[in-house]
Amino acid sequence: MTATATATERVDAAGNPLRRLVGAHEFGVLSATVLLFLFCAFGVDNFLTSDNLLSVAQQIAFIGIIGTGMTLLIIAGEIDLSVGSQYGFLSIVMAYTVTEMGLPVLPAALLVIGFGAVIGLAQGLLTTLAQVPSFVVTLAGLAILRGAALLVTGGEPIQGSESETYHDIVSGFPIGTLAAQTLWMAAVMLGFGWVLAKTKFGYDVYATGGNVKAAVNAGISANRVKVLCFCVTGALCGLAAVVLVGWLGSANPLTGSGIELSVIAAVVVGGASLTGGVGSIVGTLLGALVAGLIGNALALLGVDGNWQQVATGVLILAAVLINRVVAKRQAALR
Amino acid sequence: MSVLEALDVSKRFGGVEALRGVSLSVAAGEVVGLMGDNGAGKSTLMKVLCGAYRPDSGALRMNGEPITMRGPRDATAHGIAVVYQDLALVDQRDVATNVFLGREPRKGLVVDKARMRREARVVLDELNIRIPSVRMPVAGLSGGQRQCIAIARAVHQGGQVVLLDEPTAALGPEQQANVLKLITRLKERGTAVIVVSHNVDHVLKVCDRVVVMRAGQVQGIRDVHSTDAATVVGLILGEVAAETLAHAESHHSLAETGDPR
């Protein structure tokens, strides 16, 4: 009995760590991050200082928070193009509830996060029950929510809360120059990384995106899973809005315009497949980090900021090509 | 004694009578082959048996008890498992995850991955399914191995009756042999199996009885040991006249009542 047990363990033991690393979907983005980091460390002045690195971590915080929701959605086989508009609209809602409605910050924040979840619920139900592709539903959402934000504010930025505590909690510097935004991102990514990798819900997300018919045949409620992923994404847009408004003390109706591209880029560069079933939070973090490092290096080198857009585009293409090679090699390696 | 029984089942779609009073039974440890030309009613019958369609008339019995099923989930709850071709596995996930798909064991909030791997290996070993590692994503496996994993899941999730729809279609000869071996293994374990197939050789090789359908009715039931490919093909094509049906049925019911089991 023990003999068979050990034999079984040997057969199904994890492979050589190096092989597993090379075979992982995140291998491409991981090597890109390492190479880029080494290049910057040696070739770019002022890059390798803790202040600079922590500022990169601060800059990617919003992409990271929203990207966590997007990762879940893309793994589940859906997409949300409206995250930038949700983020902008919810920023306005946050500022409006604390100033115009005079709500205390905490209930206002919870309201905004809940409101985000409701927006996700609506888009999720339209996608699953009305069977409109999420690409279309959220493209409409992108326009509607941006329009709403501009209508409510008349196109002008509005004042947010002046609470010092609120500002410190979302954007203070609790440890040295480590920004609170970075910690919020870390908490969100750790939390949902755990949910995605370890819990039954996470398994259902992968199954739903991988083969929706198989998931349904196995008794998984694929529609429920998808709607929940939309809700999480909306709620995280709400959280990002809460953090942003506390940090800036005001809200601009144009907040987050175009950010959906950076968010989707981070997820895809991180090894996720737009056809669903593949991806991870670690990958998304690395995807956001690569984009952040490129932007930072270009800025430090004094290159025109518009090159960053070009670099992001090239990065997406490169990442997808590398992932394709990795996917092909995986079958052979494992 | 029959595990699953369909009695005089009829199903009509608009003006089309897909099933016209079909009766079928399968006992524990028995493999029944369901054959017939396209449009003979095989798929409709399978869908009735797995709860996807409700019959217009007739009854279903599980272990002698009448059952009604409102959907495939009810079928699963009654111990009827269907293996859908190509609709069963999530390619990107590993073997262990696929064997437990939708029913992952948990330790608190967390899926118990170690237990899943261990039990998946036990199930695969018990069914003599050879997979190098339960950590492999199923996308990297052959069609035959994938079919076997889908069947292993059906068995593991408590299927007393396993319905297989064309399990050997689109597979190479070696892989077909593996799937047929697995069907024999299921029989040895006492699982009741119904196999829809177009391949007479396979049916004669692994089944105990073959039920041939034609135009929504049972054209004939044969014990595989006392029939041959020509007769079965004749039944499928309608060339072996339907009057042998009466003979076959009475013969079969006599055999069943005389059965000491």
Domains (range + CATH), chain B: 2-244 (3.40.50.300)
CA closest to A210 among chain B residues: B90
Q: What is the mean pLDDT of residues B89-118?
A: 93
Instruction: Report residue A150's pLDDT band, with 50, 70 and 90 as the boundaries.
Output: very high
- ipTM comes to 0.86
Contact criterion met (CB < 8 Å) for A206 and B118: no
Q: What is the mean pLDDT of residues B113-125?
A: 93
> Quick check: B183 pLDDT over 70?
yes
CA closest to B125 among chain A residues: A8
- Contact of A31 with A197, CB cutoff 8 Å: no
**Min Cα–Cα distance to chain A from B140, Å:** 5
The total of other beta-carbon atoms located within 10 Å of residue A176's CB is 9
Instruction: Report residue A311's pLDDT band, with 50, 70 and 90 as the boundaries.
Output: confident
Instruction: Return the H-helix or E-strand segment holding B42.
Output: helix B42-49
**Min Cα–Cα distance to chain A from B254, Å:** 39
Q: Buried b / exposed e across A122-156, counting CB within 10 Å, b at 16+?
A: bbbebbbeeeeebeebbbebbeebbebbbebbeee
Q: What is the residue whose two structure tokens read 């005089």?
A: B8
pLDDT of residue A56: 93
- Contact of A206 with B93, CB cutoff 8 Å: yes
CA dihedral A204, A207, A208, A212 (to 10 degrees): -140
Residue A70 to residue A83: CA distance in whole angstroms: 8
Helix axis angle for A281-300 and A259-269, nearest 10°, is 120
- Contact of B3 with B166, CB cutoff 8 Å: no
Q: What is the mean pLDDT of residues B221-240?
A: 88
Note the Cα A144 to chain centre separation in Å: 22
Whether B125 contacts chain A with CB within 8 A = yes
Instruction: Report residue B86's pLDDT band, with 50, 70 and 90 as the boundaries.
Output: low
pLDDT per position as a tens digit, A187-204: 999 999 999 999 999 999
Residue in A13, A202, A218 nearest the CB of B101: A218
Residue B96: list chain A partners with CB under 8 A: 12
Residue B102: list chain A partners with CB under 8 A: 204, 207, 215, 218-220
Could you give the 3-state DSSP secondary structure of residue B30?
coil
> Pairing between strand B161-165 and B192-196?
parallel
pLDDT of residue A157: 93
Q: What is the mean pLDDT of residues A149-155?
A: 94
Residue B40 to residue B43: CA distance in whole angstroms: 8
Residue B137: list chain A partners with CB under 8 A: 330-331, 334
Instruction: Report residue B52's pLDDT band, with 50, 70 and 90 as the boundaries.
Output: confident
Contact criterion met (CB < 8 Å) for A218 and B102: yes
Residue B121 to residue B116: CA distance in whole angstroms: 8
> Quick check: B261 pLDDT over 90?
no
Contact criterion met (CB < 8 Å) for B93 and A331: no
Q: How many CA atoms lie within 13 A of B124 on its CB side?
A: 27
Residue B156: list chain A partners with CB under 8 A: none
Q: What is the mean pLDDT of residues B205-212?
A: 94
CA closest to B112 among chain A residues: A198
Q: What is the DSSP letter of B54?
A: -
Residue A278: list chain B partners with CB under 8 A: 92
Contact criterion met (CB < 8 Å) for A198 and B125: no
pLDDT of residue A1: 39
Mutate to test the interface with A, among B101, B107, B115, B133 (most CBs of A within 10 A): B101
Maximum Cα interatomic distance, chain B, rounded to a whole number of Å? 62
Contact criterion met (CB < 8 Å) for B89 and A203: no
Tokens of B25: 């039974």
Residue in B91, B111, B134 nearest the CB of A210: B91
pLDDT of residue A334: 46
Higher pLDDT, A183 or B159: A183
Residue A289 to residue A266: CA distance in whole angstroms: 8
pLDDT of residue B8: 94
- Contact of B1 with B261, CB cutoff 8 Å: yes
> Quick check: A162 pLDDT over 90?
no
Residue in B73, B87, B135 nearest the CB of A213: B87
Q: What is the mean pLDDT of residues B25-46?
A: 92
Whether A221 contacts chain B with CB within 8 A = no
Instruction: Report residue A95's pLDDT band, with 50, 70 and 90 as the boundaries.
Output: very high
Note the Cα B133 to chain centre separation in Å: 27
Q: What is the mean pLDDT of residues A23-47?
A: 86
Contact criterion met (CB < 8 Å) for B101 and A215: yes
Tokens of B216: 């929504």
Classify residue A164 by burial, with Cβ atoms within 10 Å: 0-12, 13-18, 19+: exposed
Which residue(s) pair with B137 in the sheet?
A: B94
Tokens of B249: 């049925």
Q: What is the mean pLDDT of residues A279-300?
A: 92
Instruction: Report residue A140's pLDDT band, with 50, 70 and 90 as the boundaries.
Output: very high
Instruction: Report residue A310's pLDDT band, with 50, 70 and 90 as the boundaries.
Output: confident
Instruction: Report residue A308's pLDDT band, with 50, 70 and 90 as the boundaries.
Output: confident
pTM of the model: 0.86
- Contact of B232 with B210, CB cutoff 8 Å: yes
Contact criterion met (CB < 8 Å) for B132 and A215: no
The total of other beta-carbon atoms located within 10 Å of residue B42's CB is 23
> Quick check: B249 pLDDT over 60?
no
Residue in B87, B109, B132 nearest the CB of A214: B87
Contacts of A209 (CB under 8 A, 6+ apart): A74, A75, A76, A77, A78, A275, A276, A277, A278
Classify residue A228 by burial, with Cβ atoms within 10 Å: 0-12, 13-18, 19+: buried
Which residue(s) pair with B19 in the sheet?
A: B11
> Quick check: B162 pLDDT over 70?
yes
Contacts of A146 (CB under 8 A, 6+ apart): A84, A85, A88, A89, A253, A257
Residue A92 to residue A149: CA distance in whole angstroms: 7
Whether B91 contacts chain A with CB within 8 A = yes
The total of other beta-carbon atoms located within 10 Å of residue B52's CB is 15
Alpha carbon separation from A285 to A39, A190, A290, B93, B201 (Å, rounded): 20, 11, 9, 22, 55
Residue B234 to residue B242: CA distance in whole angstroms: 11
CATH 1.10.3470 fits A25-327, yes or no: yes
Instruction: Report residue A161's pLDDT band, with 50, 70 and 90 as the boundaries.
Output: confident
Q: What is the mean pLDDT of residues A40-58?
A: 91
Residue B168 to residue B151: CA distance in whole angstroms: 12
Maximum Cα interatomic distance, chain A, rounded to a whole number of Å? 75
Residue B37 to residue B237: CA distance in whole angstroms: 7
- State which of A54-68, A299-313, B246-260 shows the largest mean pLDDT: A54-68
Contact criterion met (CB < 8 Å) for A278 and B92: yes
The total of other beta-carbon atoms located within 10 Å of residue A111's CB is 18
Work out whether the CA dihedral A69, A71, A77, A79 comes out positive or negative.
positive
